Each structure stands twice: as structure tokens, then as C-alpha cells.
């Protein structure tokens, strides 16, 4: 059944490729090559050091730092030591990190020098730290340790990676991704014909290392023996330069990042010819943006939809379905991968008919084991073998799925349910609109009124009356925004999505929204 049966746990991955292709490059970071052989030895030495520091099987090891080869060394080392690896969001403030650390209780934190000041201070009790940076490389902590794998049994049911949700709907929760679940996600992908791996493929990794979109795609590429070009963080100019210089064949970005790339002046002179596939996910993409991306980047595009709790993609809008002649299909998140089932249900848990909206449920062999030390939250969303996504979806007669909104982003105005994504799709194709987010704001008459927050396109001016008329031609009257806010930039979450929570905050302070 397995493509590589020797890879039973995450820690086995580097061991396998150390045996197969020890001298093959696995990472390029800041001009430095790292081979599979070197990665395996570095991870083994650090794993022995973690064990010497008292890390036991089932403990949590946290990492606070930007993208680097050291990040992956730490991840594989934790796996070999039998610990759950927790990449911390380096954009969080000390108080926010304190909440995550108090919940996860890591046995040890590996922290880059530049981020140490973000860790909470007294009276918070921090666990032991391994501080690394230019003056004290991470490898320097384990030079006296064996280069062979530690003799520690790790179960496929053990938590390999612990990822905390963004907390936009409340207290952050730690999603437990097991070694076996990660392997089964790889199996779903290998049975999917749209994924094609070629000798010489390389992946540009610039996504946040604390989010599944970055980690999941990186592990997918590493499992298939690909090389990663690592950027410390996403920066449009640096990403465009790396595309021209390093010639990656695979790219994965959020829609917001795609827009930032295309808006940058260097995009006009960037050589995109090496790219054969650009994948995008993380939030719905507007019709205007995907049309623009397809025109500007001469490669194939594939959208995937998933959640942290699903350990990877559960559905794909495959490259042959990206047809500018059928723009309606471009709104879809596609069909499920092999071995994955999707349902759309009403508030009674009953399946709805095609064309009717409801909550999307996922059944997958890779779904998370639950939330770290949080049985109540686990019980609320993992029910009878299904994961409740909280996303409102529709399936059409062809079996294509469409995410029409997050349940929490649905606007209830005058008793009507309005999905903000539908309005955003319409406004995104107006030539004056660079970016748009639609929210509900309190209104005495309607309960919630629809507001569109708009960033103008480069060099464009915004006429609210013109946008209102544009919407009236394309939407039912109750869906037309009652007001427009014109802004220079949008607030973003740590994972690069527009933060609607922040957009709504000033309007709903002290009030209760009609949708949680």
C-alpha cells in the first residue's frame, strides 16, 4: 500500500533518503546546500541532545524562529526523539505566546536569538531553552552526540506535529497530527493523478513555518525526494528574485501572496518560465485575481482546500479545470482526493440537496487525532468519524464543491443569510479594486449591514457610487453593500489571510454578533 514502506514515522523520512541519495541536495538556504546525508546526521545528533535534556516520548518540543534548514533539523530531531514538534508563530506578542505555551507545556524551546525577546517573562515560568543564531549555530549544541538514530520507539499514533489554530474564533487550540496520519495523507496524494513528481523538481518555501500550508507542502515535497529552496519569510521582491535565480518548478502561495507578487513592480521582469505548477490555498481566491495570475504566470494552476485538522488537502480544483472560458468553475475548490469523503449537512446534521448550502464535513484517514489536552473542543468538531469544518459549502450537479463562506463570516441581514465570499467575488473583478473584504456591521434596522472594505488597485481611485451600481447589476438588492471603507492596506493574520476579526473589531466592540 505504501509508496515507501520504510517511512513509518516522520523521523524515518531523512533516514530513508540518507540511504538512497545521501549526496543529493535537499535544502538550499542563503546560498548554502544541505544534503540528505547531512540532514540525517544533524537531526540524529540533535535528537540525542533532546533526549539528554530530558525530552521523553510524548513530550512537546517548541520551535520559535523563521524559516531555515535548522527548522527542519529541529522537526526531524523531535520526531526521532518521539516528541510532538510545535512551531510557534513568531509574529505573536509575548502575551499571546504565553497562552500557547501555557496550553502546550513544552519540555524545551528551541529559539532563535532574534526572537527570544518575544518569549513571555516573569511571572511566566519558561522551560529550558536552546538558543541559536549566527554566533551559536544549532548544530553546536550537539557536536558531541552520536550521528546515528536514537534507540527510541516511536508509534505511528504518537503526535508528530502540534499546530495551534489562529484563534480567530476564540482560545487557540493545538491540533495533533500523528505520524500515521501524515503518512496516510501522503497515500491519498499518491493515489491522486493530479500530483506529478518529476526528477529535478524543486519547491520554493517562503510560507510561514508555523502553518500547515507551509509545513504540509514541504513534507509532501520532501517525502517525494524534492529539493527545497528556503526563504526566511515571504517577501514579494525576494520571492520574485528567487524564482528568476533558482528556477523552482513548484510554488505554493495564499491568494494574498499571489496578489502581492503580481502587484510588485519586479513581477514585470521576473522569469516565471521554470514554474510548471503553482498551487494556492489558505482562503478563497477572487475571480479577478485568478484571471490575472493565469494571464501573468505561464504555468498550470491547482487550488486545494483543507484545514489544519485535515493534515492536508481534502479537495482539489485540478489544473485542467482552471478554464478561463468557464469562470464559474474557478470559484470551486474542486472534488475530494482519493480515500476522502465530503458531506454537506444542515443544522440538524441531515444531508442537503445539490445546490443547497450547508456545513461541510470531512472524513479522511489523515484527519487529526483531536486537540491537545482539550477533550471538550475535540468532541465538538470530531463527531462519528467526521470533522466539522465550520465552512459553508455547496455541491453542484457535477460534483464540484464551492466554499461560499466561513460560518463565522456569514452575514445575517434582515433575516437573510448572505455569504461575504459571493460579494467579494463580484467586487474583485472591478478594475478599480485591488483587494476587498466584506463584513457585517451592526445596524438597528437590519441587524447587520453589509460593508465592503476595499484597497484600490494601483493608480486607481474608488467611487463608492460606481461600485454600488456595479454590484446592483450582479447581485440581489439585499446583498449589495450598504457602505464602503477605502483603506491602504488590510490587516493580515499570521498565516497571510485577511483578518476579518480585526476589520470587524471597531464596529462590534462590546456587542454580540449574530453569527459566532
Is the pLDDT at 511 greater than 60, yes or no? no
Strands 312-317 and 300-307: antiparallel
The pLDDT value recorded for residue 170 is 52
Is the pLDDT at 514 greater than 60, yes or no? no
Cβ 457 vs Cβ 433: under 8 Å: yes
Cell of 223: 517525502
Is the pLDDT at 1 greater than 70, yes or no? no
Strands 335-336 and 312-317: antiparallel
Residue 451 in any domain: the answer is yes
Q: Report pLDDT digits (tens) over 427-438.
A: 988 999 999 999
Residue 259 in any domain: the answer is no
The CA distance from 207 to 213, in Å, is 7
Residue 118 per-residue DSSP state: G
Tell which residue, 416, 421, 395, has the closest CA to residue 406: 421
Per-residue pLDDT, averaged over 63-86, amounts to 98
Residue 80 in any domain: the answer is yes
Cell of 463: 467611487
Q: What are phi and psi of 405, to 5 degrees?
A: 180, 165
Q: Which residue has the higher pLDDT, 445 or 168?
A: 445
Q: Report pLDDT digits (tens) over 479-503.
A: 999 999 999 999 987 667 788 888 9
The pLDDT value recorded for residue 16 is 97
Residue 304 in any domain: the answer is no
Q: Report pLDDT digits (tens) over 255-269.
A: 878 988 999 999 999
Which H, E and C letters describe 8-47, residue by residue? CCHHHHHHHHHHHCCCCEEEEECCEEEEHHHHHHHHHHHH
Please identify, among 154, 177, 204, the residue that sits at the C-terminal boundary of a domain: 154
Residue 105 in any domain: the answer is yes
* CA angle, residues 18, 366, 24, in degrees to nearest 5: 15
Helices (H), 144-211: 179-190
The pLDDT value recorded for residue 168 is 40
Q: Report pLDDT digits (tens) over 328-353.
A: 888 899 999 999 999 999 989 999 99
The pLDDT value recorded for residue 167 is 45
Cβ 45 vs Cβ 69: under 8 Å: no
Helix (H, G, I), strand (E, B) or coil at 401: strand
Widest pairwise Cα distance in the chain: 71
- Sign, Cα dihedral of 493, 499, 503, 508: negative
Residue 296 in any domain: the answer is no
Bridge partners, residue 383, by sequence: 386
Q: How many helices (H) does the chain have, and how many strands (E)?
A: 13, 26
CATH of residue 446's domain is 3.30.300.30
Please identify, among 130, 154, 178, the residue that sits at the C-terminal boundary of a domain: 154
Residue 347 in any domain: the answer is no
Instruction: State the residue range of the domain holding 133.
Output: 37-154
- Measure CA 414 to chain center: 34
Residue 139 in any domain: the answer is yes
Q: What percent of the chain has pLDDT over 70?
A: 96
In total, how many domains does the chain have? Answer: 2
Please identify, among 115, 131, 154, the residue that sits at the C-terminal boundary of a domain: 154
Amino acid at each position: 500500500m505504501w509508496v515507501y514502506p520504510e517511512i513509518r514515522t516522520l523521523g524515518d523520512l531523512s533516514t530513508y533518503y540518507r540511504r538512497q541519495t545521501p549526496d543529493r541536495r535537499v535544502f538550499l538556504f542563503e546560498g548554502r546546500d544541505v544534503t540528505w546525508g547531512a540532514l540525517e546526521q544533524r537531526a540524529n545528533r540533535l535528537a540525542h541532545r533532546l533526549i539528554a535534556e530530558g525530552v521523553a516520548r510524548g513530550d512537546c518540543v517548541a520551535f520559535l524562529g523563521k524559516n531555515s534548514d535548522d527548522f527542519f533539523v529541529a522537526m526531524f530531531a523531535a520526531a526521532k526523539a518521539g516528541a510532538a514538534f510545535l512551531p510557534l508563530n513568531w509574529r505573536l506578542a509575548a502575551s499571546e505566546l504565553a497562552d500557547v505555551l501555557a496550553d502546550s507545556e513544552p519540555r524545551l524551546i528551541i529559539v532563535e536569538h532574534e526572537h527570544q525577546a518575544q518569549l513571555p517573562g516573569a511571572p511566566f515560568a519558561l522551560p529550558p531553552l536552546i538558543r541559536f543564531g549566527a554566533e551559536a549555530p544549532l548544530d553546536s549544541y550537539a557536536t558531541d552526540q552520536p550521528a546515528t538514530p536514537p534507540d527510541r520507539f516511536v508509534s505511528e499514533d504518537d503526535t508528530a506535529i502540534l499546530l495551534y489554530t489562529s484563534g480567530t474564533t476564540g482560545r487557540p487550540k493545538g491540533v495533533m497530527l500523528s505520524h500515521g496520519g501524515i503518512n496516510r495523507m501522503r497515500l491519498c496524494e499518491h493515489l491522486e493523478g493530479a500530483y506529478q513528481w518529476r526528477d529535478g523538481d524543486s519547491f520554493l518555501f517562503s510560507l510561514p513555518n508555523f502553518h500547515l500550508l507551509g509545513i504540509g507542502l514541504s513534507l509532501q515535497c520532501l517525502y517525494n525526494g524534492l529539493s527545497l529552496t528556503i526563504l526566511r519569510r515571504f517577501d514579494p521582491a525576494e520571492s520574485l528574485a528567487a524564482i528568476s535565480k533558482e528556477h523552482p518548478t513548484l510554488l505554493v502561495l495564499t491568494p494574498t501572496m499571489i496578489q502581492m507578487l503580481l502587484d510588485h513592480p519586479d513581477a514585470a521582469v521576473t522569469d516565471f518560465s521554470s514554474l510548471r505548477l503553482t498551487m494556492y490555498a489558505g482562503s478563497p481566491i477572487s475571480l479577478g485575481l485568478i484571471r490575472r495570475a493565469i494571464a501573468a504566470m505561464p504555468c498550470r494552476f491547482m487550488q486545494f482546500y483543507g484545514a489544519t485538522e485535515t493534515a492536508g488537502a481534502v479537495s482539489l480544483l485540478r489544473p485542467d479545470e482552471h478554464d478561463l472560458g468557464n469562470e464559474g468553475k474557478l470559484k470551486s475548490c474542486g472534488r475530494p482526493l482519493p480515500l476522502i469523503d465530503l458531506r454537506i449537512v444542515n443544522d440538524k446534521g441531515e444531508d442537503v440537496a445539490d445546490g443547497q448550502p450547508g456545513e461541510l464535513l470531512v472524513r479522511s484517514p489523515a484527519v487529526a487525532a483531536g486537540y491537545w489536552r482539550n477533550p471538550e473542543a475535540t468532541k465538538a468538531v470530531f463527531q462519528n468519524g467526521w470533522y466539522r469544518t465550520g465552512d459553508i459549502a455547496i455541491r453542484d450537479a457535477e460534483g464540484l464543491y464551492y466554499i461560499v463562506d466561513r460560518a463565522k463570516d456569514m452575514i445575517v441581514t434582515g433575516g437573510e443569510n448572505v455569504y461575504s465570499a459571493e460579494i467579494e467575488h463580484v467586487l474583485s473583478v472591478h478594475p478599480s479594486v485591488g483587494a476587498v473584504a466584506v463584513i457585517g456591521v451592526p445596524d438597528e434596522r437590519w441587524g447587520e449591514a453589509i460593508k465592503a472594505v476595499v484597497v484600490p488597485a494601483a493608480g486607481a481611485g474608488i467611487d463608492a457610487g460606481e461600485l454600488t451600481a456595479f454590484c446592483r447589476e450582479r447581485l440581489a438588492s439585499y446583498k449589495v453593500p450598504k457602505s464602503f471603507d477605502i483603506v491602504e492596506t488590510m490587516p493580515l493574520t499570521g498565516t497571510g489571510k485577511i483578518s476579518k476579526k480585526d476589520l470587524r473589531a471597531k464596529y462590534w466592540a462590546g456587542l454580540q454578533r449574530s453569527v459566532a
